[in-house]
Structure 1
Amino acid sequence: MKNQLQLFPEDLLHQYLEQVPKGLQDAFDVLEDAAISTDTFSFYTSVSSVYSSKIEGEDIELDSYIKHKKFGIAFQADYTKKIDDLYDAYTFAKSHPINEQTVAEAHQLLSRHLLAKNWQGTYRTQNMFVTTSDGRIEYVAASPFELEGEMKKFHHDLAILLERKMKIEEVFFYASLLHLVFVKIHPWNDGNGRSARLYEKWFLAQKLGEKAWFLESEKMYYNQHATYYHTIRLLGLEYPELDYSKALPFLMMLPKALVNN
């Protein structure tokens, strides 16, 4: 069927809706921009860029980055350039619809100092392994032979979900699922986590409006990074054998963070 999802599993939606915390709409409605933001500086884009980068091990502090971005205080280029790239990707997303082309364009922006130019916005062509700090294989991503097909399914499903009418609880479910599915495919040579967290928020903004950009999801994932990685690992070691029936703990992180905050 044309409108049937090909990749995103929906089996957990009913269970998710039974467990999602009450008050999600109210908590979302009170989100607002920070007073420090201006026409040329976004506080919450800085928060997103800094904490998403810190998850990936970047040595950057929010206070220093705000001094750099808002007030023009100079730091060593290596300290800020990757975060500046991610900030530009978020800024780009705010003024563009999310689709296959813009997803690649956003990756081109955020990976300017991560990858050689020919790999920016281009799918990898080799196997991808996620390893632990001591060198053990933690996860084997989709093989390069199935990668293009899986990404076609991803964008097919994304287009369908963007057209569906949803309650806010469903929007959060699919935004988190998009994040999880994308990071499990792991299509880029680098920047997959940064991309997945951006796309999650981008989807929320497309469905719910600009208040989504004020949601401090990246900061929450950083502050709970042990849980973040644990719940991602729950699905299994290899892409063809992933068990999405175990995805609920990850999918619940985002709505719980908003309501509890």
Structure 2
Amino acid sequence: MRMELQIIPTGLLADFKAEVDERASTTAFNALEDAELSTAGFSFYTSVASVYSSKIEGAEIELDSYIKHKRFGIQFQPDYTRKTDDLYTAYQYAQSAPFDRTTLVEAHKLLTRHILPVASQGKFRNQNMYVTTNDGRIEYVAASPFSVTMEMEKLYADITTLQAIDLSIAEVFYFASMIHLVFVKIHPWADGNGRSARLLEKWFLAVKLGEKAWFVQSEKYYYERHRSYYDNIQALRLEYDELDYANAGAFLRMLVAAVF
């Protein structure tokens, strides 16, 4: 397969495809089913995605409590649920919207309703960005604010290209993971980047593979291995201008492992 991509690297694609059993992967993916708890107005797996993506960012919320709130209407303090509710709404939006720059901006507005001021929702940042650990250690340095727009234009172009190409299931998982990783490294927003990246990854899966993609518990998988998740992101080196995507193999394998 030959394609012209502007920012998403393809150097690891051949090795990745050699590792993935296409038949077994297709069988496992097709076996995914919605949960019995889901109803017309409530999605169990959207709750899982929203809770664990929020927990990766430090939210103190538990899945059991959130299901009681969302499925059965049990009330909690607003601060306990509102950011996760916003992310749930963004996932719902993505499930019925096309995947492009306009809808990405709208999804960011939805998921940051109680994180950022209105003026910053859906807007690229204009300041430097350093991603740090809880003890103050720098995990990685994001793209310069002066290059964010250019880098995102490249990513938008690549997403458009990939949506128009027939891909095998291994290729879909490769590029979904790479969209996640490239987006995180650009870090275009003032906040909500991790939540957005994990949503984009699943959004791309759904565009290429169908609605069963929304049943993939990738956010839970990442949370349960969040130290490895961050280590694998950091493995590409510290500075954006010095990133080495040849080191992305461990990260790429995480999404596949979440399903298979």
Q: TM-score, normalised by structure 2?
A: 0.97
Distance (whole Å) between structure 1 residues aligned to residue 233 and residue 153 of structure 2:
22
Distance (whole Å) between structure 2 residues aligned to residue 105 and residue 205 of structure 1:
18
Q: Which residue of structure 2 lines up, in the alignment, with residue 192 of structure 1?
A: 193
Q: Which residue of structure 2 lines up, in the alignment, with residue 209 of structure 1?
A: 210
Q: Which residue of structure 2 lines up, in the alignment, with residue 5 of structure 1?
A: 5
* Unmatched runs of 5 consecutive residues or more in structure 2: none
Q: Does 1:16 align with 2:3?
A: no
Alpha carbons of 1:233 and 1:21: their partners in 2 closer, same or farther (altered >3 Å)? Answer: farther
SS at match of 2:147: helix
Q: Which residue of structure 2 lines up, in the alignment, with residue 219 of structure 1?
A: 220
1:136 Cα deviation (Å)?
2.4
SS at match of 1:90: helix
SS at match of 2:197: helix
Q: Which residue of structure 2 lines up, in the alignment, with residue 252 of structure 1?
A: 253
1:258 Cα deviation (Å)?
1.1
> 1:67-106 maps to which residues of 2 (within 5 A)?
67-106=68-107
Q: Which residue of structure 1 lines up, in the alignment, with residue 168 of structure 2?
A: 167
Q: Which runs of 4+ in 1 moved over 3 A?
A: none
Q: Is the 8 A contact 1:186 1:192 kept in 2?
A: yes
Q: How much is the aligned-residue C-alpha RMSD, in angstroms?
A: 0.9
The amino acid that maps onto 1:65 is: Y
Q: Is the 8 A contact 1:236 1:243 kept in 2?
A: yes
Distance (whole Å) between structure 2 residues aligned to residue 86 and residue 77 of structure 1:
14
> 1:100-249 maps to which residues of 2 (within 5 A)?
100-249=101-250
Tell me how many residue pairs correspond in the alignment.
Answer: 257
Q: Is the 8 A contact 1:21 1:256 kept in 2?
A: no
* Unmatched runs of 5 consecutive residues or more in structure 1: none
Distance (whole Å) between structure 2 residues aligned to residue 26 and residue 134 of structure 1:
43
1:158-206 C-alpha deviation (Å, 9 max, x unpaired): 0000011011110000000000000000000000000000000000000
SS at match of 2:139: strand
Distance (whole Å) between structure 1 residues aligned to residue 161 and residue 203 of structure 2:
15
Distance (whole Å) between structure 2 residues aligned to residue 176 and residue 128 of structure 1:
22
Q: Is the 8 A contact 2:198 2:219 kept in 1?
A: yes
